[in-house]
Structure 1
Amino acid sequence: MKNFVVTTSHKPDREQVMKAKELAEKLGTIYVSRRRLKEFKVDFYYVVEKNRISIKWPGGEFFFHPSSAILRMRNIRSGQKDYLIESLQPEGNEIVLDTTFGLGSEAILMAAFLPEGKVIGLEGSIHIYTIVKYGMENFETDIRWLKDALKRIELYHANFKEYIRSQPDNSFDVVYCDPMFENPVYESSAMNPLRPFAVYDTVNEEDIEEMLRIAKKKVILKSHVKDSLFKRIRVDELKGSRKSGVLYGVIYKR
């Protein structure tokens, strides 16, 4: 999945074409008009539409949508537990570093509980970063909490291993890390389009030491019950549902 171009939707307006050309230059590729797209052999292509940017390839499409964050907030408001928010225990003014941003659903959920704080997100994949950053900045919604949460998120394209080693001690209140599962949950329809573009870096003990160094309060890790993360990394608390297979491990700063 390396060869790609940037195009537009069918019958684009002038602004879309300009935006597509700018994006192509930024990503180091070429702009191709939609009517000429079939002339190019590519693994995937960006589509600049009127209100969003997506990536398409034969049999797949990737675009930003906060659907899982909306569903989880609905569940929380109906009285259900959310193990990430339980692990976070937000006071409301924390600065949280999300080292593995992905689609941003967990960052959005955390940001919703930080009215005086914010989430700094890192995404190692330039393609996921491009789609999600544009999507968050241009997503239109009448949902008040979601609109506010999106304003409290700053997203950067960065390798988290390099980034955490460049930060001063106690730079963030909480560091959150959700590496790609070793045992993917393919039933997760929101995650499946992201997989071809994701960064699959594992987390080791040195990474955890660096995360604890730059955190004031704690580090929160997410993993699948069948994965090796919590066998390799010792945590102080483990929260989650064996039924869903998703676990959150909390390591407190000492």
Structure 2
Amino acid sequence: MEQAHKGINHVMENGVSIVITTSHNASKETVELAKELSAKFNVPYYNRRHISERLKDGTLKMYYVVDSNKNLSVVIDGQKLFFHPGISKIRMENYKREGRDFLLEALRPESTDIVYDGTFGLGMDAVFIANFVSQVVGTEVSEHIYRVVSYGIANYKSKEEWINRALKRIVLFNEDMKEFVKKQPDRSYDIVYCDPMFENPVFESSALNPIRPLASYDTIDGTTVNELIRIAKKRVVIKTLAKDGLLERLNKEGINFDRVIVSKKNGLIFACIDLV
């Protein structure tokens, strides 16, 4: 998938480098962890006191931060992106209180299912899904989102035991969904889920705003959906917005949906292709 900042890597296309640093007044252990991640990511380590001057002179617009709690985030254009399953917790509370969740109604998961999440992002859906299945396999094309989220999945500790169990059921790869699915055998996942970035996003949704500069805005077409169908045993579910034109375009390409679940509250659509 094409990345919004396609040239962002060790050095951005405009020559601005990417570094890793710590929060202010970092402990020795925090500095050592930042240096370890520096080697792992192949990006330079900078002492925190040198960051401000590089931001002022424009030679730095993006950097990783290891904080005093050993959490990892990435800062770009003043926005901080980090992993936190708090929305999954709220979603679970709502589900227990109301007895329904549109995503679960679409997926119809069983405890033995293996789910493929092709557009993982921050994992807000995946953590919730993982509570109801045996495993979630995800792909995230953005290298920087992948680094922050995979680190969070491996190291986050929640007071909610169901979240800790769910995180252990997630396997995440830094790959393009369209290329990844081509390598998968037929019927290799029980359920396939795809949540491409919305065409007309609700920018008031502040939880997703930090991801936007780094995310892929590549959409999906009939060829991609047919590949998703090929690797699914039970169903394929695509999430979009009522005001986006994705489903109409897919219909024109011959993709038909068996169920379409619409949330009137936020305009979310879960379009389902049931194979069994």
Q: Would you call these one fold, judging by a TM-score over 0.5?
A: yes
Cα deviation for residue 58 of structure 1 reads: 4.5
1:198 to 2:215 alignment: yes
Q: CA deviation at 1:15?
A: 2.7
Structure 2 contact 30–70 (Cα < 8 Å) conserved:
no
Which residue is equivalent to 1:73? 92
Match of 1:127 among 136, 144, 149: 144
- Structure 2 unaligned residues grouped into runs of 5+: 9-16, 251-255
- Is 1:163 the counterpart of 2:177? The answer is no
Q: Which runs of 5+ in 1 are unaligned?
A: none
User: Across the two proteins, how many residue pairs are aligned to each other?
Assistant: 252
Q: Counterparts of 2:261 and 2:77 in 1: how far apart (Å)?
A: 39
User: Which position in structure 2 is the counterpart of 1:212?
Assistant: 229
Q: Is contact 1:225-1:242 (8 Å) kept?
A: no
The aligned residue for residue 246 of structure 1 is 268
Paired with 1:58 and 1:155, the residues of 2 have a C-alpha distance of 26
- Give 1:80 deviation, angstroms: 4.3
Superposition deviation, residue 247 in structure 1: 0.5
Q: Deviations over 1:203-240 (max 9, x none)?
A: 01010111111111110000011111111223111002
Aligned to 2:238: 221
4+ runs of 1 displaced by more than 6 Å?
A: none
Tell me the equivalent position of 2:33. 19
Paired position in structure 1 for 2:197 = 180
Q: Percent identity?
A: 44
CA distance in 2, matches of 1:251, 1:81: 20
Name the SS of the counterpart of 1:193 in structure 2. helix
1: CA distance, partners of 2:262 / 2:192: 18
C-alpha RMSD of matched pairs (Å) = 1.5
2:171 matches 1:154: yes
Q: CA deviation at 1:163?
A: 0.1
Report the 3-state secondary structure (helix = DSSP H, G, I; strand = E; otherwise coil) of the residue aligned with 1:239.
strand
Q: Partner residue of 2:64? A: 46
Task: Compute the TM-score of the two structures, normalised by the length of structure 2.
Answer: 0.87
- 1:64 is matched with 83
Instruction: Look up the SS of the partner of 1:42 in the other structure.
Output: coil
Query: Which digits, 9 at most, give the CA deviation of each residue in 1:46-83, with x for residues without a partner?
Result: 11123300112453211111121111111110024211
Distance 1:168 1:58 in 2: 41
- CA distance in 2: counterparts of 1:73 and 1:251, whole angstroms: 25
CA distance in 1, matches of 2:21, 2:209: 23
Aligned 8 A contact 2:131 2:165 in 1:
yes
Flag the structure with more relative contact order, 1 or 2, with Cα contacts below 8 A and sequence separation at least 6. Answer: 2
3-state SS of 1:223 partner: strand
Report what 2:258 is aligned to. 236
Specify the SS of the correspondent of 1:62.
Answer: strand
Does structure 1 retain, via aligned residues, the 8 Å contact 2:153–2:167? yes
AA in 2 matched with 1:193? P
